[in-house]
Amino acid sequence: MPSLPPRRLSAADTILSMLDDPSVPFCVGAVLRLEGATLLDAEGRIRLAFVREMSDATLHHRPLNRCIPVDVPGGVGRPVWVEDPEFAIADHVTAATLPEPTEAALWRAVEDFLGAPFPDGRPRWGTGSSPASPTATSPWWSRRTTPWSTAWAGSAPSVGS
């Protein structure tokens, strides 16, 4: 992927990123239920490598998802987006194991995912799933703080049959 030129955070992104705090994560979350057959292997496990590959292949549509906000030297102006030199899709696309296939266990996993602080110095988004679901669908959850301008489009994996 070609390197992005530095780009300042929007005023809204700057304010929202200042509000985010590890003790009170400021993120937007979503839960999707997808038809799960194409996401699971023969043993019923999430095809995580496939999902990561599909997600990584579409990141060029959301280049800021590979970026982190960096303060400008001397504090002159808003921070700029800089590509994370250690970006790894595996840090952002994960799978959880539910202790039992119940709706309550699913919502506990989602709550844990949404409430966990983002690691410092990494792009502030993530998506996760669990194959153990009380329904025939495969639940996916997603969260992000910034960049808001990239929206949710494409955050969930695009999976063909």
Q: What is the DSSP string of 73-126?
A: GGG-SS-EEEE-TT--GGGTEEE---SSSSHHHHHHHHHHHHHSPPPTTS-SEE
pLDDT tens digits, one per residue of 104-134: 888 888 888 888 877 778 888 888 887 655 4
pTM of the model: 0.76
Quick: pLDDT tens for 50-103: 889 988 998 888 888 888 888 888 888 888 888 999 999 999 988 887 888 788
CB atoms within 10 A of CB 38: 14
